Amino acid sequence: MTKKKTHKPGSATIAMNKRARHEYFIEEEIEAGIALQGWEVKSMRAGKANITDSYVTFRDGEAFLFGATIQPLTVASSHIVCDPTRTRKLLLKKRELETLFGKVSRDGFTVVALSLYWKNAWSKVKIGLAKGKKEHDKRDDIKDREWKVDKARIMKNANR
């Protein structure tokens, strides 16, 4: 009987896009694989990835992650030209691609990268089907967040 591999302690998250949740209403989240080169995997293991300004584009029936930056390590191989901002292919099922493309083209949604993480030995990116927020929506979110903090403080002091 084979033993199951245990998850290593520590965080599996490589990079988060916190600004996406502030700028957009996230309607749906989808996990996608990402096609990487060897030096990119090594850099991601070292934590040198940034997906803050990244989004998904569609070309020839395929999805690509545009704007993600993976900085090459200084000890990277010298015979490979490292492009930190290259467009990377996303690995999605055909049905997921069709639904995403349909919603983006018809309903005015956009697809943004939310987080980049490890799932076992594979690197995954969580993408979100998003609609843009107006300025007053952002202010409402900030007000709600501040009220939660104040409410927690009041409840903590009320029990004394």
Instruction: Give the model confidence (pLDDT) of 95-143 as tens digits.
Output: 989 888 888 888 878 899 999 999 888 899 999 998 877 777 778 888 8
147 pLDDT more than 60: yes
User: CA 56, CA 110: separation in Å to the nearest integer?
Assistant: 8
Which pLDDT score, from 0 to 100, does residue 126 have?
92
Q: What is the mean pLDDT of the chain?
A: 84
pLDDT at residue 64 is higher than 90: yes
| Distances, alpha carbon 3 to alpha carbons 6, 14, 120, in Å | 9, 27, 15
pLDDT of residue 5: 52
Residue 2 pLDDT = 63
Residue 89 confidence (pLDDT):
92
- Own/partner contacts of 103-109, CB < 8 Å, gap of 24 or more, are 103/129, 104/58, 109/27
User: Beta-strand (E) ranges in the chain?
Assistant: 13-16, 24-34, 49-50, 55-59, 62-66, 69-70, 88-91, 110-119, 122-132
Task: Give Cα separations from 131 to 28, 30, 38, 123 (angstroms).
Answer: 10, 15, 34, 26
Give the global pTM. Answer: 0.74
A 10 A CB-CB count for 113 gives: 26
The answer to whether residue 9 scores a pLDDT higher than 60 is: no
pLDDT value at 3 more than 60? no
pLDDT of residue 58 exceeding 60, the answer is: yes
Among the listed residues 128, 95, 118, 94, the one whose alpha carbon sits nearest the alpha carbon of residue 26 = 128
How far are the Cα atoms of 35, 67, 71, 82, 108 from residue 74, in angstroms, in the given order? 22, 21, 9, 11, 41
Q: Is residue 125 a contact partner of residue 29, using CB atoms and an 8 Å limit?
A: no
Place of tokens 């200084």: 74
Overall residue count recorded for the chain in this entry: 160
